[in-house]
Amino acid sequence: MISIIVTFHNEEQSIISCLQSIVAQTAQQWECVIVDNGSTDSGEYQVRNYLIDRRMRFFREAEALPLEEVRAKALAKTQGEWVMYMDGADYLTRDSLQALYLIVKKYGTLCAAGNYYTVSDGEKRPAQYRSEGLVCGGQVARGEIGVLTGGSLFSRSVAHLPGSWPTLDFAYTDHMILVSGGREKPLVDVVREPLYKKVLRWLRDLA
């Protein structure tokens, strides 16, 4: 089973599309924990319309907490072997879960990442990962690919260790995931690290 964790903060305009894309997945073996991270808009009321689906559960934080803390609390409420983190502005195409699950099984990795489109100011732009079968974790650390978007699937064994993700290999799928948001919203999480660690990683990648 795949555990999907959706966190949102003042994203009432996009949270409906996000949840609709989850319900519409071709893969049906999933559970979804939705966390309102201290929103002040009406997003909570939009979410409650989806709780008729027993695979979905909703929690609300009284005030906004750091994203890692919110995700950790939500992860403790899940049971799936595989974990996907989503923001309220993410949108999965219909067979995203199926494609990512099949690719981790094919390559035997702990993580999988997919290509994605971005929708910024109403304009759709393709943003592709490299086409090799495996994506090196060093590319993640350099910010060359953004695996911490709505298009990544993690084994539960590493899902609770966000600091370890940049050191892992990601299996790759060319399946597309939509990520919406304004131009000012970063779509790639860049890992900050001391220079000596960058040098060690560079040497390790050359080996």
pLDDT number for residue 150? 45
Q: Do the Cβ atoms of 44 and 61 come closer than 8 Å?
A: no
Question: For residue 197, what are the contacts with CB-CB under 8 A and spacing of at least 6?
Answer: none
Tell me the CA distances in angstroms from 151 to 47, 53, 112, 129, one per residue in order: 21, 23, 8, 11
86 and 80 Cβ atoms separated by less than 8 Å: no
What is the rounded CA–CA span in Å between residue 188 and residue 25?
Answer: 25
The model's pTM: 0.77
**Residue (of 141, 170, 3, 11) closest to 71 by Cα position:** 3
Please write the tens of the pLDDT for every residue from 54-76: 999 999 999 999 888 999 999 99
Q: Would you state the pLDDT for residue 36?
A: 94
Low-confidence ranges of the chain (pLDDT < 70): 118-122, 126-150, 162-168, 179-198, 201, 207
In the structure, how many helices (H) and strands (E) does the chain have?
7, 10
Interatomic CA distance for residues 106 and 93, integer angstroms: 21
